[in-house]
Structure 1
Amino acid sequence: MPATQPQFSSTDTPDLNDARALLSRVWGHADFRGMQGQVVEQILSGGDVLAVLPTGGGKSVCYQIPAILRPGLGLVVSPLIALMTDQVEALKQQGVAAARLDSGVSMDERSAIWAAARSGELDLLYVSPEGLAAGAMMDRLAELPLSLIAIDEAHCVSQWGHDFRPDYRNLGLLAERFPHVPRIAVTATADARTRDDILRSLRLEEAKVFVDSFARPNLQLSAERKESASRAKTDARVIELVRERRGKPGVVYCGSRDGCDRVAQALRDAGTNAIAYHAGMDNKERDRRLERFLAEEGAVMVATIAFGMGVDKADVRFVIHADPPGSLEAYWQEIGRGGRDGEPAEGITLYGPSDIAWALRRLDSRPMAEEVKQVQVRKARQLFAMLDGAVCRAQAVRRYFGETDAEPCGVCDICGDPPQLYDATVPAQKALAAVQRLGGRFGRGRIVDHLTGRTKAVQPWEQQLSTWGIGADISPNGWRDIVDHLLFEGMLVEDANDGKPLVGLGDGEAVRAVYKTERKIEVRRVPAGFDAGTRSGNPRNRRDRTGEGRNAALETMDADVRSRFEALRAWRRDRASEQHVPPYVIFQDKTLLEIAQAEPGDLNSLGAISGVGQSKLDRYGKGVLETLNAL
């Protein structure tokens, strides 16, 4: 029998009280949060579940606790080796008998794992969907009593989601092979359509669906429109943002492998402990870099989306998108890597028209049904509409996921400095008409020159167009804002044209609605007037457009508390180094801070602190008290 298997005092069937007792003993928490208790209770009763809980909302506990309490082996299907490794190591630290089967496990280790599973010595077994489909794993599992089957990151099942993986589509077969085993699918990001697809694909039509609030009040969100498509300027802004947060652990997302390597090197040159991570590296190298990021305090990971679901670092203080993702689901999941410990964290996104053009080209190059492609294009446009919009960012995301009663967060850049909206419907009509008459043969700069009547060596045919010089009352920068907004809204589209993008008309129905003034166009900045006294036509002393100057809240603590906190972090770092595990799997910063503040004098007092379970108390309690007493 596994060490964590409890003895039930009341009935032979575990209930929520047993679950709370296990949560306290193993995880060190007094009670469940949010919908965790309801999900656990449903699984304990043998029912199927789809749980959509926010990043940092404790999804894994929802299946780990029932897997331990119910008789048999808990099977967890997880998409990434890094994620499986991280969760298994964390469970082992807590005294839970857990193992994983993936390509990094030797044949001898595999034999030992199967032997432990057959003898009932294992609580949880983690496998990949590819591993589950290969060889005779299904047959071997069918010989074992299973307590439950958990499908982690379940949005990977759906073609409507942001990270569809074909191997996940086959997991519906589990309903046939294990008809009497309760199944739970969990994810942090799934809109209504994706949820329906998950239920249908996994054959969970009878499952109880739990959708918790997507609110993350500790996240401060902001977005900045890029001044140009220049990579050098974007890199410089990223370096500046990271420098302002020096010493804090963070993640910088880039859209390409080359971008990751370039930005990471630039950050290192600027004195930041930056680590590049992308799919172009072999598995061992990626694992080594992930281990560095998890273990080294103040490290900044510069990564592509290859680095995402495998991240379980609780104290990430900022997430910066040097290049925005392709949907609000991907945005919320990636931004959600920050502040998983509940402490304040920032999510900053840099975006521009070249980014949405790149996102749409990427979608166009992927093999998918036209209906699916149309949905994904709409999702990309919804993201950029949020980034360039004037609605509270957290509120916009929550409403996207179906929370109709979501209120403004009060802490994002929109709430903190509400933008001045300008009715740009008439200028938008002029811009659309200009693009139509120019026939999609020119880029953004030439369109602006046409509207302001500043085209160099202009040809007679162009001067004869009714749109020539029609916008001479607005500065070139003002027109760029309007053209960019129309690109975000999909009324204009860019053709890559071998690196020299050409702008043409986009959504015909939307364009007609603007022409007829049935659709209002609002931009966030009042376009400044044309200034004939400058070479560019832009007015002098343009106000700052970057949103600089916002100061992140500084954490404060008494000198004695800080001294104890830093001593505990140093002790934790040594223990983590000895075991080759990330520091946070021993204790999270939040727990160390509470210990530093409470200054417990004995094991009983230490055990009463949230996050200190019995296993960790037995394993580390003496060392913690010795560290405190040494000060």
Structure 2
Amino acid sequence: MLADSTLIAPPAPSLADARATLERVWGHGDFRGRQAEVVTEILAGRDVVAVLPTGGGKSVCYQIPAMLRPGLGLVVSPLIALMTDQVEALKQQGVAAARLDSGVSMDDRSAIWRQARAGELDLLYVSPEGLAQPHLIDRLHDLPLSLIAIDEAHCVSQWGHDFRPDYRTLGRLAELFPGVPRIAVTATADARTRDDIVRSLRLEDAKVVVDSFARPNLQLSAIRKESASRARTDAAVIDLVRQRRGKSGVVYCGSRDGCERVAEALRAAGTNAIAYHAGMEARDRDRRLERFLAEDGAVMVATIAFGMGVDKADVRFVIHADPPGSLEAYWQEIGRAGRDGEPADGITLYGPSDIAWTLKRLEGRPMAEEVKAVQVKKARQLFAMLDGAVCRAQAVRRYFGEEGAERCGVCDLCLDPPAVFDATVPAQKALAAVQRLGERFGKNRVIDHLLGKTKDVQPWETALSTWAIGADTGQHTWRDIVDHLMFEGLLVEDPNEGKPLVRLGDPEAVRAVYRGERAIEVRAAAARAASAPRERTRTGRNAALETMDADVRARFETLRAWRRDRAAEQHVPPYVIFQDKTLLEIALAEPGDLERLGHISGVGQTKLDRYGKGVLEALRQTPG
């Protein structure tokens, strides 16, 4: 334990105590955003639901109160990798933490319980599946608990993007441990999901703290796929990664085969690419994750099996080769980039075939029709954002209910505002054509009908009021309009055994377009073709890194090599020792003694004691 166990802790630790712990252990002078508000609630023994942005320090909000309040802090976490990562980081900072999962041996389990009974643990991480075991609950009943933290709390909601049935049972913790304050934390939850978290976890009296979803360091962009060709998509991904050569990144693919294919293509192009998906053996996945965390410039090519809670701070880009299924999933996955607060890119490739695939996948999932309808709506909202003309970050923040969200100024749409045209009347024509044709044809056939160019046309078709009604509009423009109507949910593609048919979508929305109550705006083709991400002026430590003096860079690289060796010795990710931004601060400041080193943000007392002399020696040995 960090505190002297012979001292009697005050009955109600103050926020000043929390700040002192933050500085002593983490090396940070003060809390960020609404962290202090959340910490205050837990220190006072009250329940709280905290929705804080990715990289916003959610874990600190329960870790510090667990250290200051008497008893053991219990943390419920959904993934072994996430638990392992957080426990290792805490140990590096001198915090007494442990985890119980399937990878922990019986001897280690016994040792952990002995520590817990002796009051030598601050935090114990368990999975929701573990909490379902009666023997674990019985053991916890014999211990005083300081708090219960439910991490990645969006997993509790069937409306969210990563629903886990075991999370639905966590509401019983209110009865099992009455009087123990509980905190539910997540980075991605819209209003409906937040309400479900509160109700399911029985946190009706909890204070709900929702911070801004702004991530100003992220440059968001989306590129419409010119075709459904996998080869062309792979080539686009390779080109985007090549432009970021030497930088760490994540490429998300929609399938296991896609991961393997793209990773192989990237390796052939000279990138240190690592494939990761649920079809691999757990031990193999662990080795690949360890490589990604340890190796500079590694690119992880993964399905959604990867990512949640992985705290690699220097991920400089996330590319979606295939778009996710909702704005929540998009924000969670894009959030893997730039966790150190430095500029990073979030790039999504998308096309009509992607939304058809997303909806087909949803259709095959066992879920209530009400839930399925919500998930379909969420998917369409994502694609409408990708194909829209509104600032991307602004659209996401408004989706999560953040009022007053301003334009970000750095996304592709802000840097190069696209031309749009009023497509309400053409949309009415397209919808009417689909209706008159009896919803029995595919997209290209509908467009041919609008143009009056159907081959071997029959008299019944030329007699329709919609025949050739769009002859004054070009074929490519019609394709853009029809695609946009599908993104908006006004048209829907029925898979039809590989020969998709177009039918009308949401009846109310279609009627609103017919009546002129809903305007349709479509981005011009020329603007869309130019929508590839444009380099913005870099600021912050990344810019300093690229323009720094040779002696500063030499010190920085020497420190990274020293850190890599220490991490290899301990079999931990390098960033749990020091993050890049801390090493850069050290390289810039060039402290000559432990006192000055201790004043650098990110150097807590335990790390100063453990690594301080090694850091100073590495600086002295820097060539030149």
CA contact under 8 A between 2:221 and 2:532: conserved in structure 1?
no
Give the structure 2 partner of residue 326 of structure 1: 325
**Distance in 2 of aligned mates of 1:9 and 1:79:** 34
1:491 is aligned with what amino acid? L
2:535 is aligned with what amino acid? N
The question of 1:474 aligning with 2:473 is answered yes
Mapping of residues 428-439 of structure 1, within 5 Å = 428-439=427-438
Which of 543, 567, 570 is equivalent to 1:579? 570
**Distance in 2 of aligned mates of 1:518 and 1:151:** 44
**Distance in 1 of aligned mates of 2:559 and 2:537:** 24
Could you report, residue by residue, the CA deviation over 1:477-507 in whole angstroms, capped at 9, with x for unpaired residues? 1111000000011110001122222111111
CA contact under 8 A between 1:564 and 1:596: conserved in structure 2?
yes
Offset of residue 94 of structure 1: 0.7
CA contact under 8 A between 1:8 and 1:14: conserved in structure 2?
no
**Distance in 2 of aligned mates of 1:91 and 1:10:** 21
Give the structure 2 partner of residue 623 of structure 1: 614
Offset of residue 356 of structure 1: 1.4
Q: Report the secondary structure of 2:148's partner residue.
A: strand
CA contact under 8 A between 1:29 and 1:611: conserved in structure 2?
yes
1:150 is aligned with what amino acid? A
1:603 is aligned with what amino acid? L
Offset of residue 225 of structure 1: 1.2
CA contact under 8 A between 1:6 and 1:69: conserved in structure 2?
no
CA contact under 8 A between 2:410 and 2:536: conserved in structure 1?
no
Offset of residue 3 of structure 1: 3.4
Offset of residue 449 of structure 1: 2.2
Tell me which moved more, 5-14 or 605-614: 5-14
**Distance in 2 of aligned mates of 1:516 and 1:240:** 45
Q: Report the secondary structure of 1:56's partner residue.
A: coil
TM-score normalised by L of structure 2: 0.96
Tell me which moved more, 459-468 or 606-615: 459-468
Q: Report the secondary structure of 2:612's partner residue.
A: helix
Tell me which moved more, 11-20 or 322-331: 11-20
The question of 1:614 aligning with 2:605 is answered yes
Tell me which moved more, 311-320 or 426-435: 426-435
| Structure 2, gaps ≥5 residues long | none
Give the structure 2 partner of residue 26 of structure 1: 25
**Distance in 2 of aligned mates of 1:279 and 1:379:** 24
Offset of residue 11 of structure 1: 4.2
**Distance in 2 of aligned mates of 1:88 and 1:269:** 36
Tell me which moved more, 409-418 or 495-504: 495-504
Q: Report the secondary structure of 1:484's partner residue.
A: helix
CA contact under 8 A between 1:251 and 1:302: conserved in structure 2?
yes
Give the structure 2 partner of residue 535 of structure 1: none
Offset of residue 249 of structure 1: 0.5
The question of 1:343 aligning with 2:342 is answered yes
Give the structure 2 partner of residue 296 of structure 1: 295
Quickly say closer, same or farther: Cα 1:559–1:17, change in 2 above 3 A. same
Offset of residue 474 of structure 1: 2.1
Give the structure 2 partner of residue 283 of structure 1: 282
**Distance in 2 of aligned mates of 1:624 and 1:268:** 34
Give the structure 1 partner of residue 553 of structure 2: 562
Could you report, residue by residue, the CA deviation over 1:177-205 in whole angstroms, capped at 9, with x for unpaired residues? 10011111100011111111111111111
Quickly say closer, same or farther: Cα 1:429–1:13, change in 2 above 3 A. closer
Q: Percent identity?
A: 80
1:205 is aligned with what amino acid? E
**Distance in 2 of aligned mates of 1:349 and 1:98:** 38
Give the structure 2 partner of residue 402 of structure 1: 401
The question of 1:272 aligning with 2:271 is answered yes
Offset of residue 512 of structure 1: 1.9
Give the structure 2 partner of residue 508 of structure 1: 507
Give the structure 1 partner of residue 306 of structure 2: 307
The question of 1:186 aligning with 2:185 is answered yes
**Distance in 2 of aligned mates of 1:145 and 1:259:** 48
Offset of residue 6 of structure 1: 7.5
**Distance in 1 of aligned mates of 2:589 and 2:436:** 72
Tell me which moved more, 432-441 or 605-614: 432-441
**Distance in 1 of aligned mates of 2:513 and 2:225:** 26
Which of 547, 550, 554 is equivalent to 2:534? 550
1:596 is aligned with what amino acid? A
**Distance in 2 of aligned mates of 1:93 and 1:267:** 34
**Distance in 2 of aligned mates of 1:8 and 1:508:** 68
Could you report, residue by residue, the CA deviation over 1:87-116 in whole angstroms, capped at 9, with x for unpaired residues? 001011111111100011111111111111
* Count of aligned residue pairs for this structure pair: 615
1:59 is aligned with what amino acid? K
CA contact under 8 A between 1:48 and 1:208: conserved in structure 2?
yes
Offset of residue 620 of structure 1: 0.8
**Distance in 2 of aligned mates of 1:510 and 1:43:** 45
**Distance in 1 of aligned mates of 2:565 and 2:445:** 60
**Distance in 1 of aligned mates of 2:3 and 2:483:** 57
Quickly say closer, same or farther: Cα 1:235–1:517, change in 2 above 3 A. same
Quickly say closer, same or farther: Cα 1:116–1:549, change in 2 above 3 A. closer
Offset of residue 549 of structure 1: 6.6
Give the structure 2 partner of residue 237 of structure 1: 236
CA contact under 8 A between 1:72 and 1:145: conserved in structure 2?
yes
The question of 1:211 aligning with 2:205 is answered no
CA contact under 8 A between 1:435 and 1:447: conserved in structure 2?
yes
**Distance in 2 of aligned mates of 1:150 and 1:51:** 11
CA contact under 8 A between 1:96 and 1:123: conserved in structure 2?
yes
CA contact under 8 A between 2:224 and 2:528: conserved in structure 1?
no
2:587 is aligned with what amino acid? A
Mapping of residues 443-522 of structure 1, within 5 Å = 443-522=442-521
1:572 is aligned with what amino acid? R
1:149 is aligned with what amino acid? I
Mapping of residues 342-381 of structure 1, within 5 Å = 342-381=341-380
Mapping of residues 118-129 of structure 1, within 5 Å = 118-129=117-128
Note the aligned Cα RMSD (angstroms): 1.6
Quickly say closer, same or farther: Cα 1:485–1:8, change in 2 above 3 A. farther
Offset of residue 475 of structure 1: 2.1
**Distance in 2 of aligned mates of 1:235 and 1:111:** 49
1:586 is aligned with what amino acid? I
**Distance in 1 of aligned mates of 2:192 and 2:476:** 39
CA contact under 8 A between 2:440 and 2:501: conserved in structure 1?
yes
Could you report, residue by residue, the CA deviation over 1:326-369 in whole angstroms, capped at 9, with x for unpaired residues? 11111111111110000000111111111112222222222222
**Distance in 2 of aligned mates of 1:409 and 1:6:** 49
**Distance in 2 of aligned mates of 1:304 and 1:460:** 50
Quickly say closer, same or farther: Cα 1:273–1:284, change in 2 above 3 A. same
Q: Report the secondary structure of 2:183's partner residue.
A: strand
CA contact under 8 A between 1:4 and 1:97: conserved in structure 2?
no
1:619 is aligned with what amino acid? R
Q: Report the secondary structure of 2:619's partner residue.
A: helix
Offset of residue 5 of structure 1: 5.6
Could you report, residue by residue, the CA deviation over 1:23-46 in whole angstroms, capped at 9, with x for unpaired residues? 111111111111111111111111
2:202 is aligned with what amino acid? R
Q: Report the secondary structure of 1:493's partner residue.
A: strand
CA contact under 8 A between 1:246 and 1:272: conserved in structure 2?
yes
1:352 is aligned with what amino acid? G
Tell me which moved more, 566-575 or 75-84: 566-575
Quickly say closer, same or farther: Cα 1:383–1:377, change in 2 above 3 A. same
1:594 is aligned with what amino acid? E
Quickly say closer, same or farther: Cα 1:559–1:8, change in 2 above 3 A. farther
CA contact under 8 A between 1:420 and 1:524: conserved in structure 2?
yes
CA contact under 8 A between 2:326 and 2:381: conserved in structure 1?
yes
Could you report, residue by residue, the CA deviation over 1:262-289 in whole angstroms, capped at 9, with x for unpaired residues? 1111111111111111111121111111
2:550 is aligned with what amino acid? A
Tell me which moved more, 361-370 or 78-87: 361-370
Offset of residue 432 of structure 1: 1.3
Give the structure 2 partner of residue 143 of structure 1: 142
Offset of residue 7 of structure 1: 7.9
**Distance in 1 of aligned mates of 2:368 and 2:281:** 31
| Structure 1, gaps ≥5 residues long | 527-541
